[in-house]
Amino acid sequence: MSRIGKNPVTVPDGVTPEISGQMVKVKGPKGELSFKVHDDVSVKLEDGQIVLAPKSKSPFARQVWPTCRTRVQNLVTGVTEGYKKDLEIRGVGYRANMQGRTLVLSLGYSHEVNYEVPEGIDVAVEKQTALTITGIDKQKVGQVAAEIRSFRTPEPYKGKGVRYADEYIMMKEGKKK
């Protein structure tokens, strides 16, 4: 039995779940999210908790069951607390600033990189070298952070580029005479 899947998703105060068939909708103080649970997993609301279970004993149903449970948990966490990713920009002359809903990055190229921030995501530039990406959808926050990081990934010799705030870059030594 799955250790993750057997735990029910607790619904805190101020959050209203709605289950219709395989569709789970969650409304909370920060917004509304929905997720379609896989057909091999049953979902029901019991005593203020969302309970998921595999419909059959097939290996695939037992594999997808904890994944669906975690996705539903992410919906509940997103509408109550939200998600956040911090990015750092390192390098001489590397900087970022916001112009409306467009993030403008100077990353050592001959041109500036313009990134249109998607709906539901907020990007805050604290300093010119620190970004905070926030939103209620965990997947979308992570995707936006990965796309911004991909414009200039950290290189292993000087560590220049865009990195996650808690990321460790293994540095190489370089050439010797």
Both 89 and 136 in one domain: the answer is yes
Both 69 and 107 in one domain: the answer is no
The residue from 26, 56, 80 where one domain ends is 80
Task: Look up the domain containing 15 and give its range.
Answer: 9-80
pLDDT the model gives residue 174: 82
Based on the structure, what is the number of domains in the chain? 2
Both 157 and 118 in one domain: the answer is yes
Both 76 and 109 in one domain: the answer is no
Length of the chain equals 177
Instruction: Check if the beta carbon of residue 144 is closer than 8 Å to that of residue 117.
Output: yes
pLDDT the model gives residue 1: 64
Return the CATH number at 41. 3.90.930.12
102/79 Cα distance (integer angstroms) = 25
Reference 30, options 18, 45, 15; nearest CA is 15
- CA-derived radius of gyration, the chain: 21
Both 58 and 91 in one domain: the answer is no
The residue from 29, 59, 80 where one domain ends is 80
161/151 Cα distance (integer angstroms) = 8
Q: Which residues of the chain have pLDDT under 70?
A: 1
Type and span of the H or E element at 101: none
Type and span of the H or E element at 76: helix 59-80
pLDDT the model gives residue 115: 92
Six token digits for residue 150? 């991909």
Position 172 in a domain: no
Both 106 and 53 in one domain: the answer is no
Reference 79, options 39, 47, 35; nearest CA is 35
pLDDT the model gives residue 27: 93
Position 63 in a domain: yes
Instruction: Check if the beta carbon of residue 131 is closer than 8 Å to that of residue 89.
Output: yes
pLDDT the model gives residue 4: 83
pLDDT the model gives residue 46: 87
pLDDT the model gives residue 88: 93
pLDDT the model gives residue 48: 86
Position 29 in a domain: yes
pLDDT the model gives residue 175: 83
pLDDT the model gives residue 148: 93
The residue from 35, 55, 80 where one domain ends is 80
